[in-house]
């Protein structure tokens, strides 16, 4: 009677079965036929683990003025200079490296759970659930390790080259491996040329790594472990030949690679398209002269056709790589265009690397102006996406922007190129930090030179300082553009940027800023003029502090001081100052100018004197102009001294002139120190000797005359 009643313990089992059936039904693809109600659901689309996050990110958009997310730990510590950005990012990664070192050095702490019962403490157990191999301690191998082929396969799959070589030696060398595993190990050695690669997990180290140009020199380890393993392999399979030939060609052991290719052909061993692609990239090492190299290049392509091998995008890239490395000229350019046209007939479009080599071939620094970039950008704009195929793809955008800036000098083409980089997910093709900096260097330079001022300022506000920090040469271009447009407020703000970017110690750049401020200062309103004068005073104060620090620390490389022209620019900026601080800056600049023993033009100092008189800045006047005019021997010192004394003594210029000529001996005792300084300058400018020296000499002469009379 109770057979049809479900007891409570069976409910959980029934619910589990129902969930399983529902899950299976949800994973079934819908039928193509229309349902009875006329609704046809679309086919199920497989989703990845991060698809929802990407969809949410697409709705927010990107803020171009925001700092990179890796600097968002503390908004008050966001770096604004290239040095601080690099130090910040590498310091954070150094912490991750320290954690990885502790994980690997104390692996026993991460393979067992401390809270397990004593009987289970020796059982390996990963704390992470689910287990993440990247977070697990890496195995350690030494001479006492008991290894198997599984360990060697693990090291090969994870590109642990040094560990793979150690395990290979522990297994007994060439004789202790299966043929399949030996081939995998040979491929690993050939790909990296027996050098440990930089770990992929250290993103910042790779991003800020010092960029070096590709070396076109033989770096293959001849007679190394790869050669020994290949020699020991019997029979030698096509895969082994392909691996060793591609490795030698990659590291420019071209003659040996070509010899092995001929050996494989004689034995009837088929080779892959990748082998011929690698040979095409180093064919220039086999022949001398452009004509012989071109014939060898065509010969390899014909040989590929005879072997029944179909070319691909890498084949075209390898051909253009060799052609661009052989120099320039119409012959090579014609062969390159012919090669691209023939590959397009086969349905093969150039990749970004191929276009990069075309730009290197056509747009030489000292060559004629050839506009091939317009057609390249037009072709790339038609494509839905730009997928990277090889490492050299990251060189296209920096080279193309350099062509826009230096070769074509076309701002419209540069903006089209930048829009292409910002399209979809193309920004990953900008490369590392070094290439990103070069790209924006060219972009900002061409904008400052050829773009309208409004577009230039808009670009600068968007890029600086979070995305790009200008180098000194680019900062100079920015100052030139601001000076040309008379943007006084932006020029005044440029000094703060120099301080933040770490360029304030570069005397040439600071002098360029002062020159721009001096040229634009007279056309600005009073508020902007006051800002400019404040900047000039700050620059002088910064120089004084730098000199004090230099003396205190006893540096071997002294800080470069401002030139006489820069100090003169400070004088011009502060000449019509309405406050004592501005005139104090002018006086400080003139003291430096006098100490530098450099003479400036007399009309500049005379103009400064006239402005000082009109502003009633008497004390600063004689310090800033009159004494210096007299020391330099300028004739303007005489009327300047008379006019200054007339203001100090509240007398007419005629009375002052008579006083200076008739009462010379009594001036040293009757005048106050400020007026005495002016009298000294007057006497120096007129007679060439100071007033006191002349007085003392006169008294000595009178003493000698009296002694003669006696």
CA atoms within 13 A on the CB side of 202: 17
Greater confidence (624 vs 134) lies with 134
CA atoms within 13 A on the CB side of 583: 22
- Round to whole Å and give the CA distance between 674 and 407: 61
Whether the CB-CB separation of 691 and 680 falls below 8 Å is answered with yes
Position 583 scores a pLDDT of 66
Burial label for 377, CB within 10 Å (0-12, 13-18, 19+), is middle
Provide the residue range defining the domain that includes 76.
71-104
350: nearest Cα among 324, 376, 381: 376
The average confidence (pLDDT) of the chain is 80
Whether a cis peptide bond, with omega within 30° of 0, leads into 172 is: no
Query: What is the token pair recorded at 309?
Result: 């091998």
Q: What is the pLDDT of residues 635-693, one digit of tens each?
A: 666 777 777 777 666 778 777 777 777 666 666 667 767 677 777 777 776 766 666 54
Cβ neighbours, 10 Å, residue 560? 14
Q: What is the pLDDT of residues 94-117, one digit of tens each?
A: 998 898 888 888 887 776 555 555
CA angle 318, 200, 202 (to 5 degrees): 130
Indicate if the pLDDT at residue 284 is higher than 80: yes
> For the range 435-440, what are the long-range contacts, defined as Cβ-Cβ under 8 Å and sequence gap of 24 or more?
435/211, 435/394, 435/395, 435/397, 435/398, 436/468, 437/82, 437/468, 437/471, 438/398, 438/402, 439/397, 439/398, 439/401, 440/467, 440/468
Indicate if the pLDDT at residue 213 is higher than 90: no
Across 506-510, average pLDDT: 91
- The dihedral over CA atoms of 44, 49, 55, 60, expressed in degrees to the nearest 10, equals 170
- Round to whole Å and give the CA distance between 237 and 270: 9
Q: What share of the chain is helix, strand, coil (3-state, %, to 5)?
A: 65, 0, 35
- Round to whole Å and give the CA distance between 364 and 357: 11
414: nearest Cα among 426, 428, 400: 400
Residue 494 is assigned to a structural domain of this protein: no
356: nearest Cα among 325, 311, 310: 325
Greater confidence (463 vs 708) lies with 463
Residue 254 is assigned to a structural domain of this protein: no
Query: What is the token pair recorded at 571?
Result: 């004088």
Whether the CB-CB separation of 413 and 377 falls below 8 Å is answered with yes
CA angle 201, 204, 207 (to 5 degrees): 110
Q: What is the pLDDT of residues 9-38, one digit of tens each?
A: 444 554 454 554 444 444 444 444 455 666
Q: Considering 104, 125, 152, which residue would you say is the last residue of a domain?
A: 104
- Round to whole Å and give the CA distance between 126 and 111: 5
Q: Among 225-234, 422-431, 545-554, which stretch is predicted with the lowest mean pLDDT? A: 545-554
Residue 545 is assigned to a structural domain of this protein: no
Position 618 scores a pLDDT of 47
Whether the CB-CB separation of 353 and 389 falls below 8 Å is answered with yes
Q: Among 193-197, 218-222, 685-689, which stretch is predicted with the lowest mean pLDDT? A: 685-689
Residue 664 is assigned to a structural domain of this protein: yes
Q: Considering 83, 104, 125, which residue would you say is the last residue of a domain?
A: 104
Residue 404 is assigned to a structural domain of this protein: no
Position 355 scores a pLDDT of 96
Query: What is the token pair recorded at 463?
Result: 């890029």
Position 626 scores a pLDDT of 58
Helix, strand or coil for residue 214?
coil
Position 1 scores a pLDDT of 36
Q: What is the pLDDT of residues 74-95, one digit of tens each?
A: 778 888 888 888 888 888 889 9
Residue 543 is assigned to a structural domain of this protein: no
Position 23 scores a pLDDT of 46
Question: What is the number of domains present in the chain?
Answer: 2
Q: Among 306-315, 343-352, 666-675, which stretch is predicted with the lowest mean pLDDT? A: 666-675
Greater confidence (45 vs 660) lies with 45
Query: How far apart, in Å, are the Cα atoms of 671 and each of 251, 421, 639, 645, 661?
Result: 86, 74, 19, 10, 14
- Round to whole Å and give the CA distance between 97 and 91: 10
pLDDT tier at 697, thresholds 50, 70, 90: very low
Whether the CB-CB separation of 635 and 685 falls below 8 Å is answered with yes
Mean pLDDT comparison of 348-352, 549-553, 568-572, highest-scoring range: 348-352
Buried b (16+ CB within 10 A) or exposed e, 449-485: ebbeeeebbebbeebbbbebbbbeebbbbbbebbbeb
Q: What is the CA radius of gyration of the chain?
A: 39
Query: What is the token pair recorded at 65?
Result: 């003025």
Helices (H) and strands (E) in the chain — how many of each? 34, 0
Position 558 scores a pLDDT of 67
Indicate if the pLDDT at residue 398 is higher than 50: yes
Residue 159 is assigned to a structural domain of this protein: no
Indicate if the pLDDT at residue 42 is higher than 90: no
Mean pLDDT comparison of 118-127, 170-179, 619-628, highest-scoring range: 170-179
Position 350 scores a pLDDT of 95
Whether the CB-CB separation of 278 and 315 falls below 8 Å is answered with no
Give the pTM.
Answer: 0.77
Q: Among 147-156, 174-183, 438-447, 614-623, which stretch is predicted with the lowest mean pLDDT? A: 614-623
Q: What is the pLDDT of residues 429-460, one digit of tens each?
A: 998 888 888 999 999 999 999 999 999 999 99
Whether the CB-CB separation of 431 and 394 falls below 8 Å is answered with yes
Q: What is the pLDDT of residues 161-184, one digit of tens each?
A: 999 999 999 988 877 788 899 999
pLDDT tier at 8, thresholds 50, 70, 90: very low
Position 663 scores a pLDDT of 63
Indicate if the pLDDT at residue 524 is higher than 60: yes
Whether the CB-CB separation of 437 and 81 falls below 8 Å is answered with no
- Round to whole Å and give the CA distance between 64 and 318: 36
Residue 683 is assigned to a structural domain of this protein: yes
Q: What is the pLDDT of residues 473-501, one digit of tens each?
A: 999 999 999 999 999 999 999 999 999 99
Q: What is the pLDDT of residues 370-396, one digit of tens each?
A: 999 999 999 999 998 898 988 899 999
313: nearest Cα among 291, 267, 346, 361: 346
- Round to whole Å and give the CA distance between 514 and 498: 12
Across 502-520, average pLDDT: 91
Burial label for 42, CB within 10 Å (0-12, 13-18, 19+), is exposed
Cβ neighbours, 10 Å, residue 110? 16
Distance of CA 434 to the CA centre of its chain: 4
């Amino acid at each position: 009677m109770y057979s049809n009643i479900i007891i409570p313990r069976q409910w959980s089992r029934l619910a589990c079965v129902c969930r399983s059936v529902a899950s299976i039904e949800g994973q079934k693809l819908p039928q193509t036929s229309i349902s009875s109600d006329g609704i046809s659901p679309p086919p199920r689309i497989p989703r990845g683990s991060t698809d929802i996050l990407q969809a949410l990110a697409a709705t927010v958009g990107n803020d171009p003025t925001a700092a990179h997310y890796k600097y968002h730990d503390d908004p008050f510590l966001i770096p604004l200079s290239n040095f601080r950005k690099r130090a910040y990012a590498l310091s954070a990664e150094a912490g991750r490296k320290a954690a990885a070192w502790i994980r690997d050095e104390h692996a026993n702490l991460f393979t067992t759970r401390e809270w397990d019962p004593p009987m289970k403490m020796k059982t390996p157990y990963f704390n992470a659930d689910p287990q993440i191999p990247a977070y697990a301690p890496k195995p350690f191998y030494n001479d006492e390790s008991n290894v198997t082929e599984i360990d060697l396969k693990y090291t090969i799959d994870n590109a642990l080259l040094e560990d793979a070589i150690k395990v290979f030696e522990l297994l007994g060398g060439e004789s202790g491996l299966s043929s399949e595993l030996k081939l995998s190990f040979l491929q690993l050695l050939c790909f990296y040329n027996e050098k440990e690669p930089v770990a992929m997990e250290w993103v910042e180290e790779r991003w800020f790594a010092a960029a070096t140009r590709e070396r076109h020199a033989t770096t293959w380890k001849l007679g190394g472990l790869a050669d020994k393993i290949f020699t020991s392999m019997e029979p030698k399979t096509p895969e082994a030949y392909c691996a060793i030939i591609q490795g030698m060609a990659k590291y420019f052991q071209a003659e040996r690679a070509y010899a092995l290719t001929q050996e494989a052909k004689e034995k009837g061993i088929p080779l892959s398209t990748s082998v011929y692609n690698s040979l095409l990239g180093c064919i220039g090492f086999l022949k001398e002269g452009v004509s012989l190299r071109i014939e060898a290049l065509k010969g390899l392509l014909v040989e590929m056709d005879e072997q029944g091998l179909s070319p691909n995008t890498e084949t075209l890239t390898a051909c253009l790589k060799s052609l661009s490395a052989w120099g320039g000229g119409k012959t090579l350019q014609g062969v390159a265009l012919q090669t691209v046209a023939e590959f397009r007939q086969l349905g093969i479009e150039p990749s970004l690397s191929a276009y990069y080599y075309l730009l290197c071939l056509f747009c030489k620094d000292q060559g004629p102006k050839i506009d091939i970039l317009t057609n390249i950008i037009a072709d790339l704009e038609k494509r839905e996406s730009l997928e990277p195929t090889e490492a050299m793809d990251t060189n296209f955008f920096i080279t193309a922007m350099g062509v826009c800036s230096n070769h074509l000098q076309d701002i419209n083409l540069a903006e089209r190129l930048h829009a292409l980089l910002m399209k979809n997910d193309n920004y990953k093709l900008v490369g590392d930090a070094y290439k990103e900096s070069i790209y924006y260097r060219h972009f900002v330079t061409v904008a400052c030179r050829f773009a309208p001022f409004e577009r230039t300022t808009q670009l600068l506000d968007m890029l600086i300082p979070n995305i790009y920090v200008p180098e000194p040469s680019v900062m100079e271009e920015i100052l030139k553009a601001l000076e040309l447009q008379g943007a006084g407020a932006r020029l005044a703000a440029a000094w703060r940027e120099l301080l933040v970017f770490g360029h304030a110690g570069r005397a040439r750049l600071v002098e360029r800023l002062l020159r721009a401020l001096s040229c634009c200062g007279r056309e600005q309103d009073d508020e902007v003029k006051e800002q400019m004068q404040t900047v000039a005073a700050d620059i002088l104060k910064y120089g004084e502090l730098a000199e004090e620090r230099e003396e205190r620390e006893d540096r071997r490389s002294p800080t470069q001081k401002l030139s006489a022209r820069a100090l003169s620019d400070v004088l011009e900026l502060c000449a019509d100052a309405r406050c004592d601080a501005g005139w104090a800056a002018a006086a400080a600049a003139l003291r430096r100018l006098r100490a530098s023993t450099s003479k400036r033009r007399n009309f500049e100092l005379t103009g400064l004197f006239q402005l000082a008189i009109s502003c009633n800045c008497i004390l600063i006047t004689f310090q800033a102009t009159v004494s210096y005019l007299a020391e330099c021997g300028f004739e303007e010192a005489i009327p300047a001294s008379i006019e200054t004394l007339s203001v100090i003594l509240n007398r007419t210029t005629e009375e002052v002139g008579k006083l200076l000529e008739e009462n010379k001996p009594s001036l040293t005792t009757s005048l106050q120190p400020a007026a005495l300084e002016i009298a000294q300058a007057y006497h120096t400018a007129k007679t060439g000797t100071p007033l006191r020296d002349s007085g003392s000499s006169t008294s000595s002469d009178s003493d000698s005359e009296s002694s003669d009379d006696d």
